Amino acid sequence: MEPVRRQHPDGLPDPDHVSTDTDTDTDTSTSTDTQTAGAGAGAAPAVGRLAPADAFLDHRPLLHAIAYRMLGSVHDAEDAVQDAYLRWTAQDPETVANPAAFLTTVTTRLCLDRLRSAAVRRELYVGPWLPEPLQTGAGGGANTGVGVGVGVGLGTTAGTAAGFCSDPAATVALRESASIGMLLLLDRLSPAERAVFVLREAFEVPYAQIAQIIERTPESCRQLHHRARRRVAETPQRRRPTHHRTPDPARDQRIVEGFLAAARGGDLERLTALLREDVIVYNDGGGKVSAALRPIHGSAKVARLYTHIIPKRLTEGTVITFHRFNHTPGMLVRRPRTTFVYMFDLDEDDRIAHIYMIANPDKLTHLSA
């Protein structure tokens, strides 16, 4: 199998900073087929001068990017990557002809196992389920709002691999595949369909390699990909994320600031003008924080909702910072006892098409303080 891209598709450095020098336990439960993926008899050592831990870290951002798109959870992605490291340390690096292929295979199969077990938990989830927000950069300018807040510009942190995805089309595909809207669509697919869709659409992995990873034939992978694309395309237009807009962080933040100002000031007319007529709001409290249990549709209802609740949430001690989550504009609202994340999907006319609000505390613990 040919090497796949190593740099982080989301423009981030090592996103979860899990140390590899403190792990003492190894998991040897991986099947023989998984352990030998990317290995070849008599092949020259692929790690070269890198120590096994360094070789793993070289591929770690890619593995995290795959796992997050597969699972829609930062925590689960971190766990899957950490499990992949345990299997890597249990493998003799001298027998691995292609570390990228081996690690991609192991990580994808671990994600498939997690997806199958997650299906039961989702059935018991209270209210709409939304993916965990992935912080992909600061807002487009200085953070403002109630209190003082500083956005974390992960996209420009030293150590981010340069030159990743110089092809603009590839960059767009990678960005879209991590959007909240797309992750929600992917959640409707079977585990195998999702694996093929992510590997093919986001990372351009050939069908022959995908077949080795998920243990299917190339033709079966083609059929899975076709079926997954058809199911995504069949989603009603109003529920699809808006992908044809060129991101502009500074402009995007001004739109979010305008939304916040109109909601705080009770300006229904101004707020309605910022919303697409068929706007949809999804709220995820997970049964732990009060939140609407059904999506809210329409600009009139949404405008009334936010002119009512935003002033109540911006109480004394509240801190608001503007960030980019999943490559879309958003804001992090910290109150003394609760935290909220708002993400805004904007259309080509700079109107808000979808709002995703996450308040389930279990989904926000990874965000920077």
Domains of the chain: 32-128+163-237 (no CATH), 249-363 (3.10.450.50)
Q: Is 54 left (phi over 0), alpha (psi -120 to 50) or beta?
A: alpha
Per-residue pLDDT of the chain (369 residues; tens, 9 = 90+): 433 444 455 555 443 333 333 333 333 334 434 444 443 333 334 444 467 788 899 899 999 999 999 999 999 999 999 999 999 999 887 888 899 999 999 999 999 999 988 877 777 889 899 999 999 887 654 433 333 222 222 222 222 222 223 344 446 778 888 999 999 999 999 999 999 999 999 999 999 999 999 999 999 999 999 999 999 988 776 666 665 677 789 999 999 999 999 999 999 999 999 999 999 999 999 999 989 999 999 999 999 999 999 998 888 889 999 999 999 999 999 998 899 999 999 999 999 999 999 999 999 999 855
Per-residue confidence (pLDDT) for residue 50, from 0 to 100: 62
CA 107 to CA 70: how far, in whole Å?
A: 10
Tokens of 284: 């995820």
Q: Rounded to the nearest 10 degrees, what angle do helices 52-71 and 99-123 cross at?
A: 30
Instruction: In whole angstroms, give the CA distance from residue 206 to residue 8.
Output: 19
pTM, two decimal places: 0.79
The residues, ordered by sequence, that sit 6+ positions from 284 with a Cβ below 8 Å of its Cβ are 127, 128, 129, 130, 291, 356, 357, 358, 359, 360, 363
| Tokens standing for residue 242 | 């808006």
pLDDT of residue 294: 94
- Please answer whether residues 350 and 329 qualify as being in contact, where contact means their C-beta atoms are separated by less than 8 angstroms: no
How much is the pLDDT for 165?
36
* Per-residue model confidence (pLDDT) at position 13: 44
Q: What pLDDT, on the 0 to 100 scale, is given for residue 18?
A: 33
